[in-house]
C-alpha cells in the first residue's frame, strides 16, 4: 500500500491509499472508502467499482494505524 496526498471533491487535502496487483488496482481514501472522484477499483484500466462506503450504526469508521 502506498499513501499519497491529493485534493478531494471538497477541495480539502486528504490522504489516498493505493493497492496494486497485476492488472488491477484500487485507489481509496485513508479509511478505505471509495467516495471521491478518481477513486475506485480498476481492472485493466476500467473502473468496476466507483462508490463503496462502510458505515457502522449509520456512521463512518475511523482509519486504523499500521500494526
10-residue stretch averages of pLDDT, the chain, 67 residues long: 49 74 89 86 92 91 71
CA distances to 13, 58, 65 from 49, in Å: 23, 21, 25
What confidence score (pLDDT) does residue 46 get? 93
Pairing of strands 13-21, 59-60: unpaired
**10 φ/ψ sector (left φ>0, alpha ψ -120 to 50, else beta):** alpha
What confidence score (pLDDT) does residue 67 get? 52
Query: Which three cell numbers, joined as nine digits, stand for 33?
Result: 472508502
What confidence score (pLDDT) does residue 1 get? 43
Amino acid at each position: 500500500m502506498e499513501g499519497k496526498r491529493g485534493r478531494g471533491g471538497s477541495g480539502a487535502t486528504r490522504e489516498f491509499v493505493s493497492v496494486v496487483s497485476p492488472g488491477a488496482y484500487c485507489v481509496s481514501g485513508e479509511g478505505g472508502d471509495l467516495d471521491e472522484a478518481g477513486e475506485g477499483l480498476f481492472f485493466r484500466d476500467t473502473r468496476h467499482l466507483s462508490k463503496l462506503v462502510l458505515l457502522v450504526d449509520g456512521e463512518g469508521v475511523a482509519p486504523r494505524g499500521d500494526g
